[in-house]
Homo-oligomer: A and B are copies of this chain.
Amino acid sequence: MKIVAYQFQGLRGLGVVDDADAIIPLAETDPGLPSDLIRILESPDGLDRIRRTSAGRRGSIALSDVTLKPFLGRPNAMWALALNFKTHIAETGLTTSPDYPHIFLRTGASFVGHREALRCPPPEVARAFDYEGELAVVIGRAGRHIPPEKAFEHIAGYTCLNEGSVREYQIQNRQFGLGKNFEESGSYGPWLMTTDEFGDPARQRVTTRVNGVTRQDSTLDDMLFDVAHVVSYLSEGYCLRPGDLIAMGTPGALKPGPNDADGRDMSKQYGPFKVPGLVHMRPGDLVEVEISGLGILANPVTDDLPREYRAAVPV
């Protein structure tokens, strides 16, 4: 089952995507369901209710006619892993603990949805604005002290995530802080695919493309700490909650081909590590994160809003 948050003709809603890429609007099939996916996940039979109300129906709105939004509103926590793929550890030259996942946090405001624009800082602020194609886990059932073998019982599903990072800010001090939390610098989507449909994440692969050129491509079994381990680890100290998200880390850059001038030109890399095949995101780019068996998250990159004092929430 693929669950989306969408905007259509000015109205927001949740829906299930059918086999013909049409949306079954939950507000029509089950008006009693909350409009916030986290509230639905908080109910023990929430996902079952979505499944029942959409079973056998055909969608009434074409997926191509809507704007998809981030389907998690304001979860309690959006965890992320640094240095969790062996190829990424190698390319950065950094070390990480072999015993404990390398964990930091992002906020909801740092993410947009599928096809929404990622905001690239202007060059005088930062030039190393980097994609990180990742698998993200969405918690469905609360839990503390979850043993790895029970981890999957607590997962509602998965999504694609671009953990967009402003490297200059990320390395200003030891904690990543603001560099991983620029406004609308990352994205997730296009949908939440439930565990029953996605199956074992380790069997799938993540691919990142920039303007059609593949820049990352890795199986999801290359993780230092796998999904079950990370869920279990976080629950040692924290009660994972419905709607919490865990971004599982990104693989290293793919070696550039002989004709890939952009990928071979390392003189235009401004981040803390320079590797062949890494390019920064720039306004005008289209960045796609694909996870096999799940879908493609695509985002254009646009300029950040002008650098002027604004006493208002962005749209």
Contact = CB atoms under 8 A, between A and B. Distances in A.
Interface of A: 74, 76-77, 79, 82, 96-97, 99-110, 121, 125, 141-147, 150, 153-154, 166, 169, 172-179, 181-183, 185, 233-234, 236-239, 241, 305, 307-314
A237 B104 CA distance: 17
A90 to B, nearest CB: 17
Contacts of A125: 236
B182 A237 contact: yes
B144 A76 contact: no
A188 B172 CA distance: 28
Copies in the complex: 2
7 contacts: A102-B173, A105-B181, A144-B305, A144-B309, A146-B309, A154-B311, A183-B237
A239 B183 contact: yes
B178 A236 contact: yes
Nearest to A77: B107
Nearest to A184: B239
A175 B237 contact: no
Residue of A105, A234, A241 with highest tally of chain B CB at under 10 A:
A105
Contacts of A143: 309-312
A99 B172 CA distance: 8
Contact of A181 (B100, B175, B238): B238
A88 to B, nearest CB: 15
Nearest to A233: B178
Contacts of A154: 311
Given A105-B105, A144-B183, A237-B166, A76 B76 contact: no
A174 B313 CA distance: 32
Given A97-B173, A143-B309, A154-B311, A109 B234 contact: no
B77 A181 contact: yes
B142 A237 contact: no
Nearest to A166: B237
A136 B84 CA distance: 33
A234 B97 CA distance: 29
A308 B145 contact: yes
B175 A238 contact: no
A174 B96 CA distance: 8
Nearest to A153: B311
Contact of A314 (B107, B144, B172, B314): B144
A238 B186 CA distance: 13
B313 A109 contact: no
Contacts of A310: 143-145, 239
A13 to B, nearest CB: 22
B175 A102 contact: yes
A111 to B, nearest CB: 11
Contact of A177 (B103, B109, B239, B309): B103
Given A175-B102, A307-B145, A313 B238 contact: no
